Structure 1
Amino acid sequence: MTKTLHIIGGGMAGSEAAWQAANLGIDVVIHEMRPKVKTFAHRTGDLGEMVCSNSFRSDDDEQNAVGLLHWEMRAANGLIMAMADRHRLPAGGALAVDRDPFAQSVTQRLMDHPKIAVQHDEIKDLPTDGHWIIATGPLTSEGLGQAIAQETGRDALAFFDAIAPIVYYDSIDMSKAWMQSRYDKGETEAERTAYLNCPMDRDQYEAFIDALLAADKTEFHEGETANYFDGCLPIEVMAERGRETLRHGPMKPVGLTNPHQPDVKAHAVVQLRRDNALGTLYNIVGFQTKMKYGAQSSVFKMIPGLENASFARLGGIHRNTFLNSPTLLDDQMRLRSRPHIRFAGQITGVEGYVESAAMGLLAGRLAAAEIMGQPLPPVPQDSAMGALIHHISGGAEAKTFQPMNVNFGLFRPVEGLKGGRRGRVHRYKAYTDRAKAAWTDWLATQNMSCAS
């Protein structure tokens, strides 16, 4: 059997998997169908392209589970985190990324690696031998998706994902909008002004909700059920759940003061986050949408400050697919029916850029160890990586399995800690301390195996 590792898909997971395996001495071939075969969401043929938000979310590695995942990936010499740090944008306590230079840097590092080759071809069938990782993400091509469904003997689960619009900064009316991060978070002035805010009074908010509810929206095919991931709900779906839902979600006005009217408390606030280093593009935070393009333009221009907005990209909705991983994958991320194939990234049922890259990191290391004949011990469940892989490989209930972000609810409890809000700070710190120790020990085990 060949010692080369083949990876289908050059997104976050595939890129990270290739980087990890190659750095452990394995020859890697990345099979990426773009730009020859395009998808709804991608714009380029770059590896690691960001297609939705440009945020990797919180970078706090002591009180936030995704921040802990950042820490673990950095400790493992992760390519995605290294390039994210290199192209970081001010975003308060979050890790936001200048998306185009980020993807270009990921692509260049992989292309320059002597152990990595990139082939722009579409794989439509499941490979029958060799060592493979399928990291095609939620936009798996129709041919390969059908091959996976046929092999698993059951329909792939599906949900719908939406992307938010991006606005040109120079089209925003700054006599109405202002720069401020919520609660003035951030150590530098740039971080404290990483967000742009558009206020609404009660009447403006109510009119906006009415327009959202009445707008033309994308219709689904007959018999198709619209299951959404809760972390990426279209704003119209949130509005349908109650008129106040948006005001307590992405449009909450707390922690913000309008310098144009400092004595007037906004009823709701629309936030936009810087989308590139130049500050020429801003994405509307939390405004994923399934409205048709014409409706989006008219409805979003009801937002004070965006009356004359020009859009670099309008929002949209697309169908995502993922495996029922608890029934199909083992704890090494291998397909039980074809153990020479591993899956990684969003197709496994994790949600988010960071989680996808993290599963790629694990798949790359696990595959490399197997190819070298030095299988690794199980990923420690007390690490953030381990909590995620445990969830998707059997910890979750298969009948109700849905995409999941990393969160402390996936972690085993730490005994002897008090509950309540104050206790939560100590509990999260205990989780992260335990996770860092477990992850460090596991990495050392692999390093020792490679050296022996």
Structure 2
Amino acid sequence: MSGPLHIVGGGMAGAEAAWQAARMGVDVVIHEMRPNIKTFAHRTGDLAEMVCSNSFRSDDDEQNAVGLLHWEMRAAGGLIMEMADRHRLPAGGALAVDREAFARSVTAYLMQHPKITVQHAEIKELPKDGCWIIATGPLTSQGLGAAIARETGRDALAFFDAIAPIVHYDSIDMSRAWMQSRYDKGETEEERTAYINCPMDRAQYEAFIDALLAAEKTEFHEGETASYFDGCLPIEVMAERGRETLRHGPMKPVGLTNPHQPEIKPHAVVQLRRDNALGTLFNIVGFQTKMKYGAQTSVFKMIPGLENARFARLGGIHRNTFLNSPTLLDDRLRLHARPHIRFAGQITGVEGYVESAAMGLVAGRLAAAEILGQNLPPVPQDSAMGALVHHITGGAEARSFQPMNVNFGLFRPVDGLKGGRRGRVHRYKAYTDRAKAAWASWLAAQDMSLAS
């Protein structure tokens, strides 16, 4: 196969796919409809714009599956991870970034690469020839979504994601709130004080739950059902599952001591995480919501310390589209019916920024290898990348397929390891050691193929 690699969508997956292919010597054309055609969630025309959160989650590459994905992407020279590291913000053991600086940097690197061209136009039909990656993400345009549905012979599957609000730091009352990471986690003082904490006593919590449940919510269109991804549930949906749910979720009061009242343990705690390098914006952690704007303002101002909060962005909800990948894609992320087309990112049924970028990295390398005439083996299943690919292309049950974050439950067991909580530490370390070796071997085989 000859010619350039065409990538539809300039989000996390499309940006990483373009970077990987270009580094391998392949010409790349990114087709990104923004800013000419806007979406509900995006605010700029930058590539790799972060929408729902500014966090890449845990960076622990020995005891956490998403941290292992970080390691594998760094080992492969991933642009997304390089820019995330460059624009990192204090967040305890998590990897959070200045989202605007991050997206600007990714955009600049891709625009300046001599083998990458960006065309700002909408692709409405599936291409009939060439080498393509569809990485349109959860907000696939109506035209292209209809074309995909026609080709696959089934209705597009969908779920809903909610977005958390962002608050101006100077409007937070720090005489009531304080800065601390849970259990003082972090190697530096900045890391150990990465979160703003707003405490609630029992009466305040109960009043907050009452207001949350009574608030006006965004209604769905007729015929649409509210199917949510469990990792991004609106807080009011969590509250509907039980009044104590939030206290055991994003509002859990553990690992924190209020310096204003050190002798009193709060009943619940709302946390805010820095959203930009300046420290002028903070997002409310886990507070994605589908409440109407007016209701959000009044309900969130019930939180101690946020009585006079000014919101840089309120929350919202948007529809995500994804394929039934186990029935439609092969182990190289190619569409069975049109193998010149690959899919990558959230549209394949992975969930999260890191997972989306990871599938872009795999798709970009596989597509570039095909163009260059290489015969690459499948991505090793024992790597975190391979565990995800295996899950979405055949490991999952097609009838009940739903978006999935990377987790150690997707990994093949390691023989001879004990169970239990203590055994889990050794088991996870065994998973990561095996994954790193498998991934390094796959990368080395590709490098050798390129060199020859």
Taking structure 2 as the reference length, what is the TM-score of the superposition? 1.00
The amino acid that maps onto 1:229 is F
User: Residue 310 of structure 1: CA displacement?
Assistant: 0.2
The answer for the alignment partner of 1:99 in structure 2 is 99
The answer for the alignment partner of 1:156 in structure 2 is 156
User: Residue 222 of structure 1: CA displacement?
Assistant: 1.7
Any stretches of 5+ residues in structure 2 without a counterpart? none
The answer for the alignment partner of 1:135 in structure 2 is 135
The answer for the alignment partner of 2:246 in structure 1 is 246
The amino acid that maps onto 1:188 is T
Q: Secondary structure at the match of 1:286?
A: coil
The answer for the alignment partner of 2:344 in structure 1 is 344
Matched, 1:431 2:434: no
The amino acid that maps onto 1:228 is Y
User: Residue 375 of structure 1: CA displacement?
Assistant: 2.1
User: Residue 221 of structure 1: CA displacement?
Assistant: 1.3
Q: Secondary structure at the match of 1:57?
A: strand
| Aligned-pair identity (%) | 87
- Mapping 1:225-304, distance limit 5 Å: 225-304=225-304
The amino acid that maps onto 1:258 is N
> How far apart are the structure 2 equivalents of 1:100 and 1:165?
16
The answer for the alignment partner of 1:34 in structure 2 is 34
CA contact (8 A) 1:366 1:375 kept: no
The answer for the alignment partner of 2:356 in structure 1 is 356
CA contact (8 A) 1:417 1:423 kept: yes
Q: Secondary structure at the match of 1:271?
A: strand
The answer for the alignment partner of 1:220 in structure 2 is 220
Matched, 1:373 2:373: yes
> How far apart are the structure 1 equivalents of 2:388 and 2:205?
39
Q: Secondary structure at the match of 1:6?
A: strand
Any stretches of 5+ residues in structure 1 without a counterpart? none
4+ runs deviating over 4 angstroms: none
Which whole-Å deviations, capped at 9, do the CAs of 1:304-360 have from their partners, x for residues lacking one? 000000000000001111000000000000000000000000000000000000000
> How far apart are the structure 2 equivalents of 1:316 and 1:170?
23
Which whole-Å deviations, capped at 9, do the CAs of 1:67-92 have from their partners, x for residues lacking one? 00000000000000000000000111
- Mapping 1:395-414, distance limit 5 Å: 395-414=395-414
Q: Secondary structure at the match of 1:340?
A: strand
The amino acid that maps onto 2:40 is F
- Mapping 1:12-31, distance limit 5 Å: 12-31=12-31
> How far apart are the structure 2 equivalents of 1:229 and 1:52?
13
> How far apart are the structure 2 equivalents of 1:356 and 1:173?
37
The answer for the alignment partner of 2:47 in structure 1 is 47
> How far apart are the structure 2 equivalents of 1:264 and 1:176?
13
> How far apart are the structure 2 equivalents of 1:338 and 1:263?
65
> How far apart are the structure 2 equivalents of 1:84 and 1:319?
26
User: Residue 271 of structure 1: CA displacement?
Assistant: 0.3
> How far apart are the structure 2 equivalents of 1:424 and 1:2?
48
> How far apart are the structure 1 equivalents of 2:277 and 2:224?
40
CA contact (8 A) 2:2 2:372 kept: no
Matched, 1:441 2:444: no
CA contact (8 A) 2:14 2:30 kept: yes
Q: Secondary structure at the match of 1:102?
A: helix
User: Residue 416 of structure 1: CA displacement?
Assistant: 0.3
The amino acid that maps onto 2:48 is G
The answer for the alignment partner of 1:123 in structure 2 is 123
User: Residue 224 of structure 1: CA displacement?
Assistant: 1.0
Q: Secondary structure at the match of 2:118?
A: strand
The answer for the alignment partner of 1:327 in structure 2 is 327
User: Residue 2 of structure 1: CA displacement?
Assistant: 4.2
The amino acid that maps onto 2:380 is P
> How far apart are the structure 1 equivalents of 2:246 and 2:412?
33
> How far apart are the structure 1 equivalents of 2:286 and 2:88?
20
User: Residue 40 of structure 1: CA displacement?
Assistant: 0.4
> How far apart are the structure 2 equivalents of 1:111 and 1:361?
18
> How far apart are the structure 1 equivalents of 2:417 and 2:2?
50
Matched, 1:190 2:201: no
Taking structure 1 as the reference length, what is the TM-score of the superposition? 1.00
Q: Secondary structure at the match of 2:447?
A: helix
User: Residue 156 of structure 1: CA displacement?
Assistant: 1.1
The answer for the alignment partner of 2:59 in structure 1 is 59
Q: Secondary structure at the match of 2:304?
A: coil
> How far apart are the structure 2 equivalents of 1:220 and 1:21?
40
User: Residue 57 of structure 1: CA displacement?
Assistant: 0.4
The amino acid that maps onto 2:10 is G
Q: Secondary structure at the match of 1:288?
A: coil
